[in-house]
Structure 1
Amino acid sequence: MGVEVTTKIDIARPLPEVAAYAFDPTNAPQWYANIKSVRWRTAPPVAEGSGMDFVAHFLGRELAYTYRVVEMTHNRLVMRTAQGPFPMETVYQLQATGPASTRFCLINRGEPKGFAGVMAPVMVAAMKAANRKDVAALKRVLESSIR
C-alpha cells in the first residue's frame, strides 16, 4: 500500500525567502520536530544531485536515511531516498500568493514494505499530524523577526 500525505500552509514571506530557507536541508532540524540531524554527503549548497544523511525519530524508532535531490527549481524541490527503511519521496512546492506571501505545500509519498507496510494506516495518521506541526513551525520561523 502506497502512502501519500499533503500538507499546505500560507506563509507571510516572499517565495524566494521561503525557498532559500526551506530548501536548505541544514535548516530542517529547526522546523521538523522529528529530524535530529542532517549531514551533507555532497558539498552545499543544495542542487540537483545533492545528497544528505538524515537521522529522525518517528513512531518511537530512530530512522536513518539518505536523500538525493532529483529536481530543484525556484519553487520546487524533490528529494528521494537513496537509502533508508522504505522508498520515500518528499516534495516542497511553493506558490506565490502575493508579493510577500507564499503557499508552502509539503508532499510525502512512499511505498512502505514489510512491517512498515502493515503499519501504513498508522504511519499516514502520524505523518499527517507531524507534517501539520512541522509546516506550522516553518511558518513561525519564517514569520518571526529573529531567525
Structure 2
Amino acid sequence: MDADSEEDAVMAVDVLVETTIHRSPAEVSAYAGDPTNAPTWYANIRSVEWRTEPPVRVGSRMDFVAQFLGRRLAYTYEVVEWVTGERLVMRTADGPFPMETTYTWEPVGEGGTRMTLRNRGNPSGFSRVAAPVMERAMRRATTKDLARLKETLEP
C-alpha cells in the first residue's frame, strides 16, 4: 500500500478528546506542544529524549518511553506538521503500533483555549484483535491526561 492510500485507510483506533483550559492558546500550545513536558502531564509517558535539536519543527524526532496496558512501549515520533499556536501532528517513525497524534489549540471565551488531542493508529497482529480494548483504554487515559494538563496550566 503506498503512503497516500495508507493515510486514507480507516484507522482501527481513533480517539479524540478535548478540554477547555483557561489560558491563552499561545501559553497552552507552548507547554503542551513541547514534548519535553509530556511526562509531567501524560500519566503513561515515562521519558522523552530528543533525537534532533529542540525546539519543535517539522522533521523533529523524539524517543518516547511509555507504559500502557502493563507493557513498556518505546517509539520514535516525528513532527510532520507544526503551526505555532494552532496545530501539532506527530507520527511514529518506528515502534510497535503505528500512531499519529494531533494536538489542536483554538481560542475560546475570554482568553481560554479549546485543546483537542487525537490519537489514530493501525495496530497489527495481536494488537489489531485488542484494538477495541486499546481504544477504550486510550480514551480513558487521554481524558485524564488533558485533565492533568488543565490542572497544571490553570492558576
Normalized against structure 1, the TM-score is what?
Answer: 0.96
Pair 1:34-2:44 in alignment = yes
Pairwise mapping of residues 40-59 of structure 1 onto structure 2 (< 5 A)? 40-59=50-69
The reply to whether residue 122 of structure 1 matches residue 133 of structure 2 is: yes
**Structure 2 CA distance for aligned equivalents of residues 126 and 2 of structure 1:** 14
Instruction: Give 5+ residue unaligned stretches, structure 2.
Output: 1-10
CA distance in 2, matches of 1:98, 1:16: 15
1:25 paired to 2:35:
yes
- CA distance in structure 1 between the aligned counterparts of 2:111 and 2:148, rounded to whole angstroms: 18
Helix, strand or coil for the counterpart of 1:82?
A: strand
Root-mean-square deviation (Å): 0.9
Q: Report the 3-state secondary structure (helix = DSSP H, G, I; strand = E; otherwise coil) of the residue aligned with 1:123.
A: helix
Q: After TM superposition, where is structure 1 displaced by more than 3 Å over at least 4 residues in a row?
A: none
CA–CA separation in structure 2 for the residues paired with 1:86 and 1:33: 19
108-117 or 97-106, which deviates more: 97-106
Amino acid at match of 1:110: G
Counterpart for residue 134 of structure 1: 145
Q: Which residue number corresponds to residue 104 of structure 1? A: 115
* Identity across the alignment (%): 61
Q: Of the candidates 74, 91, 102, which is equivalent to residue 80 of structure 1?
A: 91
SS in 1 for 2:135: helix
1:99, distance to aligned residue in structure 2 (A) = 4.4
Question: What secondary structure sits across from 1:48 in the alignment?
Answer: coil
Q: After the TM superposition, which of the residue ranges 99-108 and 21-30 deviates more from structure 2?
A: 99-108
Gaps of 5+ in 1: none
